[in-house]
Amino acid sequence: MSRPARRLLDPATLAGIRDLRLVALAVVEGFLSGEHPARRTGPGIEFSQYRSYEPGDDPRRVDWRLYGRTDRFFVRESEIDSDVTVRLLLDASASMAQRGSGLSKFDYARFLAAALAYLAHKQGDRIAFRPLGGESALGEPSGGGAPSRDLAAVLHQLESLEPAGRWPAELGVEGLAAGRRERELVVLASDLCQHTSEILDVAVGLRLLGHEVIVFHLLSAEDLAFPFEGDLELVDLETGERVRGSGGELRAGYLRRLTVLLAELRRRLDEVGAVYEALRTDRPLDLALRHFVARRQRC
Amino acid sequence: MLTWLSPLWLGALAALALPVALHLLGRGRVRRIEFGSVRLLREGTLSKRRSLRFHHPLLFAVRCLLLVALAAALAQPRARQPVGARHVEPLLLVERALLERRGALGAGHRELFERLDAARRGGARLSTLETGPPPWDLWSQLREADAEAAPGRPFEVFTLDRLALLVGERPAFDREVRWWSTSETREAPGGVPLTSAVRLRRRVLLAADAERQEDAGYLLAALAAAAQHSGVDLTSRRAAPRQAMAAFGEGADVVLWLSALPVPADLFAALEPGSRLVSDGAERWERVDSLFRVAGGESGVIGVSRLEPPDPAESERAETAPSAVLWEEVSGRPVLEASRREGVLWFRFRSRFHPAWTDLVGHPQLVRWAEDLLQGDAGDPGGDDRRAAGAEVAQPGRRAAGEGPERFPYRWPETLALSLVAVLFGVERWLAWSGAPRRERA
């Protein structure tokens, strides 16, 4: 990937772009430059482009009118809509508001969701978006997160969303995605701050329904290093609970438990064949897009 | 009841503001962080939270207490013992020289020593009084004893008859003080035994052979030191032994006969009863090197070349009344004898007062013996002590306000405060250590 393209994926750069569509555009175009093809083309109704005839092409696709005008064989190509549904589940609970040295986890997740939605739209996929928790000026997404090809609606929904509250209690897997008959690509972006294993259970449940599941675990640099020193009072963003102690005193135990937790999450999701990827919110988004594209191609 | 000898140190309590300020500043330094994974902290730090809650205020309290205890210790708290707990057994204050000279003082002061022994058998504590060159600083020693002793505990003071050496106003004590002295005493109201108002005077006649002039020098020096120490006015005259009688003229209280010649009978007859005569050994006698020890002395054995009369018939012992052996050498033979003959106390030294003959010369023991010689109490029970104590020492002075013995003699509050400082310091270090960040146990 070229350097300017990578720069477009940098969260610090993205933070300066107010328009979420532009963010998505920048991310996806930067990501796709030189690496991945654009939307598939082929026989269809919606015109995309002409190209020269090549041996092996179906002669029925030759545009004979154009041949009459130019005396050369051209093949008419159309954009092909896929039957793949990309379902974006975004954790919008209050803990996602954690802001480290750069973007908050929620902003990072918002950019990620926008980029994925754009990428999916570009590939002709249907998009379903469903925030989990949070507050939106628009209320619940229309259709309860039903798939559509309306990218603008998804981006608008993303822009109006703010993190708040807790992960929805009694959240059933059935209402989050299609049933077993339709296979979807489900992307869950969350900080996985769960009180028991409610978020993990959702991911596992979706996978057991037969969907392709990618879990993006968002971690800030502070989450991974716990660099705090001195006397601290750490406040839980969701419950308001407080823990006091000195940074050095708390660090070792915290890091040890975090390592165990990450290994356990990866093990549980690997067991059911879901993709687990820990994303640092101070790192570019290309890693997430690469995983998405790889898994998309399996659909 | 408690008081403070250095109450200004209590002002150091203002230093308490320091840990309070540190504590408050420390509280303000707690950084508040919004964190998503508090669950990972909460699970493992519950016990530590309790510890922290408990630990910091405790450490703070201990540090404050440490400062309070330190200030209290520096302010030197004193307490007065409750009246009910006062001691009744007396404190015996005994002059060291009295103990050392007990053997020499003989039976004449039996009552004094019986009282001393009875008090010691009864469990009374004994404290010694040091005798230095005049003026004798007895009062400060008594003041010191008064400050340290329990209130109401009676004193019994035992001294040689050196009270004439006392100077200065006698301090008043809030306790009964009883005096015992070897002097001829009459009890003054309130205590100090007084003798007559006449200062003791001694006239010494020295008759020495030409070859014993050096001996005479040593002996006279010892007498001069003894006279100064015991406050005696001493005058001495020298004469050749053959002209001794001519020089006797005005009389003498002490005659030193350092000569190979025998003491002339007319000289002896001229001596008044109560006078002292000192003679040394004759060189033609047999010389035997030996050692002797002085009873009650503190300086161990003293070397001596003893002069032994080869023929007992030649000994003058036969001419005298039975003599008392004051000093004897290791094999039991006499070094110094004393006998009374016609009222004259005659000391026979079986050697010479010369460094070539005995280590006694230059030894403190010689000065002590010379002092006894001048006082008349060595081997002379009921001697004629005519020394005086100054009138100002007879009665206690009036105590000015704020003076006098320490009214709060007990130091246990200070000791307690110091112990508390040590304990609190240890606790503070332990708490600080146990609360310091350290690696968690795996």
Q: Is the dihedral of CA A168, A173, A179, A182 positive or negative?
A: positive
Domain of residue B107: give its range: 85-197+388-393
Q: Do B44 and A236 touch (CB under 8 A)?
A: no
- From the list B29, B44, B52, the residue facing A244 with the nearest CB is B52
Q: Where are the alpha helices (DSSP H) in B234-363?
A: 244-248, 265-270
Which chain A residues contact residue B48 at CB under 8 A? Answer: 245, 249
Looking at residue B390, the DSSP 8-state letter turns out to be -
Of A219, A227, A282, A216, nearest to A250 by C-alpha is A227
B336 and B428, same domain (yes or no):
no
Q: Do B52 and A258 touch (CB under 8 A)?
A: no
> Measured between CA atoms, how close is A253 to chain B, in angstroms?
7
Side by side, the strands of the sheet bearing B276-279 are B233-239, B201-208, B254-258, B276-279, B344-349, B334-341, B324-329, B286-293, B301-308
A51 to A9, A57, A69, B83: CA distances (angstroms): 32, 11, 15, 123
> Measured between CA atoms, how close is A135 to chain B, in angstroms?
18
Q: Tell me which of A104, A249, A265, A281 to substitute to probe the interface with B (most B C-beta atoms closer than 10 Å).
A: A249
Which chain B residues contact residue A243 at CB under 8 A? Answer: 38, 41-42, 45, 49
CB B319 within 8 A of CB B342: no
B222 and B118, same domain (yes or no):
no
Domains of chain B: total: 3
Q: What is the DSSP string of B355-389?
A: TTTBTTTTSHHHHHHHHHHHHT-TT-TT-------
Q: Do A235 and B37 touch (CB under 8 A)?
A: no
Q: Do B32 and A245 touch (CB under 8 A)?
A: no
Note the pLDDT of residue A139.
60
Neighbours of B425 (CB within 10 A): 15
> Measured between CA atoms, how close is B16 to chain A, in angstroms?
23
- From the list A195, A232, A253, the residue facing B30 with the nearest CB is A232
Q: Verify cis geometry, omega within 30 degrees of 0, for the bond prior to A284.
A: no
B193 and B216, same domain (yes or no):
no
Is the complex ipTM higher than 0.85?
no
The answer to whether A271 contacts chain B (CB < 8 Å) is no
Q: Which chain A residue is nearest to residue B34, measuring alpha carbons? A: A235
The answer to whether A196 contacts chain B (CB < 8 Å) is no
Q: Which chain A residue is nearest to residue B52, measuring alpha carbons? A: A245
B224 and B317, same domain (yes or no):
yes
Q: Do A231 and B30 touch (CB under 8 A)?
A: yes
Note the pLDDT of residue B402.
44
Cα B162 from chain centroid?
A: 14
Q: Do A97 and B43 touch (CB under 8 A)?
A: no
CATH number at residue B338: 3.40.50
B189 and B133, same domain (yes or no):
yes
Q: Which residue has tokens 């070229």?
A: A2
β pairing state of B91-95 and B155-159: parallel
The answer to whether A235 contacts chain B (CB < 8 Å) is yes
B6 and B126, same domain (yes or no):
no
B104 and B124, same domain (yes or no):
yes
Contacts of B26 (CB under 8 A, 6+ apart): A231, B56
Side by side, the strands of the sheet bearing A275-280 are A126-132, A85-91, A184-190, A212-219, A275-280
Average pLDDT per consecutive 10 residues, chain B (442 residues; last block may be shorter): 79 78 67 81 51 66 88 83 58 82 69 82 82 70 84 82 67 78 54 51 89 91 85 86 83 89 86 87 80 69 82 54 78 84 85 89 84 60 38 47 50 88 92 60 33
Within a domain: B383: no
Within a domain: B417: yes
Note the pLDDT of residue B26.
60
Within a domain: B277: yes
Within a domain: B380: no
CB B207 within 8 A of CB B239: yes
Q: Which chain B residue is nearest to residue A261, measuring alpha carbons? A: B40
B213 and B322, same domain (yes or no):
yes
Tell me which H or E stretch contains A30: helix A20-32
The answer to whether B47 contacts chain A (CB < 8 Å) is no
Note the pLDDT of residue B274.
79
B51 and B142, same domain (yes or no):
no
Within a domain: B11: yes
Within a domain: B381: no
B301 and B334, same domain (yes or no):
yes
One-letter amino acid for residue B198 of the chain: V
The answer to whether B42 contacts chain A (CB < 8 Å) is yes
- From the list B34, B39, B48, the residue facing A249 with the nearest CB is B48
The answer to whether A44 contacts chain B (CB < 8 Å) is no
Note the pLDDT of residue B400.
44
Q: Which chain B residue is nearest to residue A243, measuring alpha carbons? A: B42
Which chain A residues contact residue B38 at CB under 8 A? Answer: 234-236, 239, 241-243
Cα A288 from chain centroid?
A: 7
Question: Long-range contact list for A267-272, CB < 8 A, 24+ apart?
Answer: A268/A200, A268/A204, A269/A200, A269/A203, A269/A204, A269/A207, A269/A213, A269/A215, A272/A204, A272/A207, A272/A208, A272/A213
The answer to whether A223 contacts chain B (CB < 8 Å) is yes
Classify B123 in phi/psi space as left (phi over 0), alpha (psi -120 to 50) or beta.
left
Q: Provide the b/e sequence for B341-366 (b: ≥16 CB within 10 Å).
A: eeebbbbbbbbbbbeebbbbbebebb
Per-residue pLDDT of chain A in tens (299 residues, 90 and over written 9): 444 445 555 676 666 666 777 777 767 766 666 554 455 566 666 677 888 898 888 888 888 988 999 999 998 887 666 677 888 999 999 989 988 777 889 999 988 888 888 888 887 888 888 888 877 666 665 545 677 777 888 888 888 888 988 888 777 777 777 766 677 888 999 998 887 788 888 888 888 888 889 899 999 988 988 988 877 888 888 888 888 888 888 888 899 989 999 999 999 999 998 889 888 888 888 777 877 777 776 66
Q: Do B35 and A237 touch (CB under 8 A)?
A: yes
Within a domain: B402: no
Question: What's the CATH number for A3-36+82-296?
Answer: 3.40.50.410
B129 and B152, same domain (yes or no):
yes
Within a domain: B132: yes
Q: Do B52 and A228 touch (CB under 8 A)?
A: no
Of B284, B285, B276, nearest to B254 by C-alpha is B276
The answer to whether A241 contacts chain B (CB < 8 Å) is yes
The answer to whether B30 contacts chain A (CB < 8 Å) is yes
- For the stretch B137-172, pLDDT in tens is 778 888 888 888 877 788 888 887 666 666 667 777
B270 vs B245: CA distance, rounded Å:
9
Q: Do B49 and A231 touch (CB under 8 A)?
A: no
Residues 7-26 of B with CB under 8 A from A: 26
Which chain A residues contact residue B34 at CB under 8 A? Answer: 97-99, 234-235, 237
Q: Do B44 and A95 touch (CB under 8 A)?
A: no
Classify B170 in phi/psi space as left (phi over 0), alpha (psi -120 to 50) or beta.
beta
Pairs of residues, one from chain A and one from chain B, whose beta carbons lie less than 8 Å apart: 92
B226 and B370, same domain (yes or no):
yes
The answer to whether B41 contacts chain A (CB < 8 Å) is yes
The answer to whether B432 contacts chain A (CB < 8 Å) is no
Which chain A residues contact residue B28 at CB under 8 A? Answer: none
The answer to whether B81 contacts chain A (CB < 8 Å) is no
B143 to B129, B157, B210, B274, B405: CA distances (angstroms): 12, 13, 51, 38, 7
Q: Do B41 and A243 touch (CB under 8 A)?
A: yes
